[in-house]
């Protein structure tokens, strides 16, 4: 009878653990969410490029040594927009505290709704729907929006999508920006387009609202796994590509520390949240320890029950 109790207990634990595992997603390897910087790098000012030169060295060294010079504008590739970009009293790149750049992330994938529509505008109901499905936003968090636009980056014309000097790509509505501010939980917003505002915006509402509250943005995020679940299931080539889950990961956003910079290229990496950014074990991690102990020490429990 006691043995049965132990097995029932273990069974319930396993079910609980499974449901927690679904809620608290787990990524095995770090995922690089940034584009590389090379001759194809896209800048806010389309006329800009990366200029790389190998400096002529006059000194003769006895061993191999090489220096290069890389010149590039602040706002290009995957980069952080400091609040100062749109708010003269806002934080510059060097003002953003490090602890707000290492925060739990959420991934709001609206790529199916966007369906390559260049006029798509993110509304509060998209964010509310995400919360209904995946639970309320962690506090604090960095919110990554996936418009399904990052695959275009390799083809500049498709990415900037410019006609008669006007760009067309999805972005945040003024209402969505206000909704985000009102949660009081979001420290940064990432998008896979060149701007958090819609491509043809001239009022830059999202930029102005978020930077007023010192919320930084990350533009031109790269989702390397931007393949649909369907493709991943039926095309073995995509099987090994890690998926960024809706939640349950930490983000490390590391812009180059330009003093008084209004923006800076950034390496953005998602990692497992087995340990949260502030060093305390996450709930699923603690639960797994308890479960493992229960299974290992079944015999001991048996004598107690
Ligand atoms: C952007 O383009 C869309 C579709 O062409 C249009 O409805 C909208 O008014 C434009 N917005 C601005 C600010 O020009």
**53-80 pLDDT, tens per residue?**
766 555 666 778 777 888 899 999 999 9
Ligand 1 centroid, distance to 262 Cα (angstroms)? 27
Whether the per-residue pLDDT at 203 is higher than 80: the answer is yes
The CA 196 to ligand 1 mean position distance, Å, reads 15
Q: Could you tell me the distance, in angstroms and rounded to a whole number, from the CA of residue 198 to the centre of ligand 1?
A: 9
- Domain segments of the chain as ranges: 1-19+281-304, 27-272
pLDDT in tens, 154-171: 899 999 999 999 999 999
Classify domain 27-272 at the CATH superfamily level.
Putative cyclase (3.50.30.50)
DSSP state of 269: E
Task: Provide the sign of the torsion angle of the four alpha carbons 77, 79, 82, 83, taken in this order.
Answer: positive
Please identify, by atom number, the ligand 1 atom nearest to the C-alpha of residue 201.
13
Q: What are phi and psi of 221, to 5 degrees?
A: -65, 145
Cβ proximity of 131 and 137 under 8 Å: yes
231 alpha carbon – ligand 1 mean position (Å): 33
Q: What is the largest CA-CA distance in the chain?
A: 85
Ligand 1, residues 200, 206, 207: which to mutate, most atoms within 8 A of Cβ?
200
Q: What is the pTM of this model?
A: 0.81
pLDDT given at position 22: 41
With residue 146 as reference, give the H or E element that holds it. strand 141-146
As for ligand 1, residues whose beta carbon falls within 6 Å of it are 119, 200-202
Could you tell me the distance, in angstroms and rounded to a whole number, from the CA of residue 235 to the centre of ligand 1? 38
C-alpha–C-alpha distance, residues 78 and 170, integer Å: 17
């Amino acid at each position: 009878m006691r043995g049965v109790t132990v097995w029932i207990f273990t069974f319930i634990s396993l079910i609980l653990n499974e449901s927690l595992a679904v809620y608290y997603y787990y990524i095995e390897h770090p995922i690089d969410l940034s584009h590389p910087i090379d001759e194809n790098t896209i800048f806010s000012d389309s006329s800009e490029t990366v200029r790389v030169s190998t400096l002529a060295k006059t000194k003769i060294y006895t061993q191999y040594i090489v220096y290069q010079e890389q010149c590039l504008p602040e706002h290009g590739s995957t980069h952080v927009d400091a609040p100062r970009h749109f708010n003269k009293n806002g934080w510059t790149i060097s003002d953003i505290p490090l602890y707000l750049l290492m925060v739990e992330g959420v991934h709001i994938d609206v790529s199916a709704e966007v369906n390559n529509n260049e006029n798509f505008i993110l509304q509060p109901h998209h964010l509310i729907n995400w919360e209904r499905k995946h639970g309320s936003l962690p506090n604090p968090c960095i919110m990554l929006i996936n418009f399904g636009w990052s695959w275009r980056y390799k083809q500049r014309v498709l990415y900037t999508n410019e006609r008669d000097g006007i760009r067309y790509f999805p972005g945040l509505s003024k209402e969505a920006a206000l909704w985000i501010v009102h949660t009081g939980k979001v420290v940064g917003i990432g998008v896979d387009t060149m701007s958090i505002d819609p491509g043809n915006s001239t009022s830059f509402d999202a930029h102005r609202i978020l930077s007023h509250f010192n919320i930084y943005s990350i533009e031109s995020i790269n989702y390397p796994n931007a393949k649909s679940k369907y493709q991943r299931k039926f095309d073995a080539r995509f099987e090994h590509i890690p998926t960024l889950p809706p939640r349950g990961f930490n983000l490390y956003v590391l812009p180059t520390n330009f003093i008084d910079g209004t923006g800076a290229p950034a390496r953005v990496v998602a990692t497992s949240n087995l340990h949260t950014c502030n060093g305390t074990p996450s709930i699923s991690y603690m639960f797994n320890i308890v479960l493992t102990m229960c299974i290992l020490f079944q015999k001991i429990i048996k004598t107690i029950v």
